[in-house]
Structure 1
């Protein structure tokens, strides 16, 4: 579980990132979750864009992505989800205490 200070730090780090995944009409599926897990292992912090044609509620999508990838939901702003998961091999981000 992330503290408020850690979430604030991660939001600042994610500000300059561009979304690398999109959730569209099909919603969240297993293949997408596997790809996002791989991206989280490589990058630790990613953005996911929810498209306007997505039939699920944005809060449901954000929760499904976080639970399906065992990651932390850092932020849901507009239709953009920011996810964080500490990498086991490529640790890059040092969280504040």
Structure 2
């Protein structure tokens, strides 16, 4: 018996979401190996809902693989159609540190460059400024900290 049990309505919703997905894991002739379990677990953690392609013609073996996968990975079987298996496991919310939102990131600025002749429109340019850069009043991008010179260059001049 799988670890998670879905209602028919949940299963129907997940089947519709999985319709457009491509298989992310393939199970070959070796069956369910440790590396296959590891990749399937990583894909479930990243995506939550995945498709798995099984390379084999035995339907009973594919059904057993689906049940074994779901038991070992604490997932729920959504669908088994042909050689495709659809498996779902709820994604775990990541805990975020309070300072994570305050980190400097890229910002977009609109820079206007006015013409020396008076009657023309100003040239508009979008500039992306990274966290270690600043924008001068003239529209130039400068590094926030000056670039360090090597010891040899400092001693020369």
- 2:85 aligned to which of 78, 81, 84: 81
1:13 matches 2:17 = yes
> Moved runs in structure 1, 4+ residues, more than 2 A?
none
Taking the aligned partners of 2:57 and 2:27, their CA distance within structure 1 comes to: 9
Q: CA–CA distance in 2 between the matches of 1:42 and 1:80? A: 19
Please, what TM-score do these two structures have when normalized by structure 2?
A: 0.53
Whether 2:21 is the aligned partner of 1:34: answer: no
Contact 1:44 1:84 (C-alpha < 8 Å) held by counterparts: yes
Deviations 1:19-74 (A, max 9, x none): 011111100012211211111111000000001377x7111111111112110000
Return the structure number with greater strand share: 2
Higher relative contact order structure (alpha carbons within 8 Å, sequence separation ≥ 6):
1
**Greater per-residue helix proportion:** 1
CA RMSD of superposed structures (Å):
1.7
Shift of 1:89: 2.5
Q: Which has the larger radius of gyration?
A: 2
Q: Secondary structure at the match of 2:26?
A: strand
Distance in 2, Cα, partners of 1:20 & 1:65: 15
Single out whichever of 24-33 and 1-10 deviates more from structure 2: 24-33
Aligned pairs, number: 89
In structure 1, list runs of 5 or more residues that go unmatched.
Answer: 91-97
